[in-house]
């Protein structure tokens, strides 16, 4: 594995195993969590929007073992032992994109997705959203490219080319558009910091 791959993947990092009710059930390395049919572990997804209402997307690094070069939401990762999920989300935003933002918890859900018989994501995923005015500075070990996209354009492109997007984004985006975007649009028109339902 290249130095880039080692930096991006960190296969020995311990992840938090959970049950279907998100109760902690021990720890297992990142590599082992993603082998075979996967072991259920705690994770998070962040959706950051700019003041124009556009979503910041990232293209995953080619060094990622699962879904390399697929487009995904702003940031996805895992909390460390003893770390709250929101603190982990803030940490990874800073590490991957050099961004800070006030985050709001939306919901959490369990999903499983397999990638080309290489590995599996089986996550209890916490979903957050927020607003940023910052300019991303992407960590090349994690992110190949990034772009802002209007929600309607993303919805249309995901319908036309779903194979270019990560499975968790395809699951989360319909919920985000239903639960978050209407409130965002209304609050932004009134010039206030948006709140989430």
**Alpha carbon distance 44, 99 (integer Å):** 16
**Alpha carbon distance 146, 74 (integer Å):** 9
Give residue 62's pLDDT: 95
Domain interval for residue 104: 3-189
Strands (DSSP E) contained in 41-159 are 41-49, 55-60, 71-72, 75-77, 102-115, 119-131, 143-149
Specify the CATH number for the domain of residue 155: 3.90.79.10
184/28: higher pLDDT = 28
Q: How confident is the model at residue 171 (pLDDT cuts 50, 70, 90)?
A: very high
Residues annotated catalytic, as ranges: 76, 123
| Residue 195 belongs to some domain of the structure | no
**Count of the separate structural domains present in the chain:** 1
Q: Residues 76-129: pLDDT tens digits? A: 999 999 999 999 999 999 999 999 999 999 999 999 999 998 999 999 999 999
| Residue 196 belongs to some domain of the structure | no
Cα 12 from chain centroid? 20
Of 57, 35, 54, the residue nearest 46 (C-alpha): 57
| Residue 160 belongs to some domain of the structure | yes
Helix ranges, 98-163 (H): 151-160
Whether the pLDDT of residue 184 is over 70: the answer is no
Whether the pLDDT of residue 193 is over 80: the answer is no
Task: Report phi then psi at 89, rounded to 5.
Answer: -65, -40
| Residue 114 belongs to some domain of the structure | yes
Q: How confident is the model at residue 179 (pLDDT cuts 50, 70, 90)?
A: confident
**Alpha carbon distance 154, 112 (integer Å):** 23
| Lowest mean per-residue pLDDT among 32-41, 62-71, 174-183, 185-194 | 185-194
Q: Which two tokens stand for residue 4?
A: 């880039």
- pTM (predicted TM-score): 0.87
| Residue 142 belongs to some domain of the structure | yes
SS3 category, 175: helix
| Lowest mean per-residue pLDDT among 25-34, 154-163, 177-186 | 177-186
Give residue 182's pLDDT: 76
Q: Which two tokens stand for residue 78?
A: 């895992």
* Per-residue burial over 40-49, b = 16 or more CB atoms within 10 Å of its CB, e = otherwise: bbbbbbbbbb
| Residue 194 belongs to some domain of the structure | no
Q: Residues 4-50: pLDDT tens digits? A: 333 445 667 899 999 999 999 999 999 999 999 999 999 999 999 99
Cα 189 from chain centroid? 27
């Amino acid at each position: 594995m290249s130095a880039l791959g080692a930096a991006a993947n960190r296969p020995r990092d311990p992840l938090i195993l959970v049950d279907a009710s998100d109760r902690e059930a021990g720890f297992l390395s990142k590599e082992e969590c993603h082998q075979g049919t996967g072991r259920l572990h705690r994770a998070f997804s962040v959706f950051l929007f700019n003041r124009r209402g556009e979503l910041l997307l990232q293209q995953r690094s080619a060094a990622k073992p699962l879904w390399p070069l697929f487009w995904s939401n702003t940031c996805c990762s895992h909390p460390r032992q003893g770390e709250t999920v929101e603190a982990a989300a803030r940490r990874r935003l800073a590490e991957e994109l050099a961004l800070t933002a006030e985050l709001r918890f939306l919901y959490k859900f369990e999903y499983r997705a397999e990638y080309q018989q290489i590995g599996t994501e089986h996550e209890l995923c916490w979903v957050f959203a927020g607003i940023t005015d910052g300019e991303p500075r992407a960590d090349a070990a994690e992110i190949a490219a990034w772009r802002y996209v209007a929600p309607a354009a993303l919805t249309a492109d995901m319908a036309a080319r779903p194979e270019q997007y990560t499975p968790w984004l395809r699951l989360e985006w319909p919920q985000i558009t239903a639960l978050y975007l209407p409130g965002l649009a209304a609050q932004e028109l009134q010039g206030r910091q948006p709140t989430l339902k």
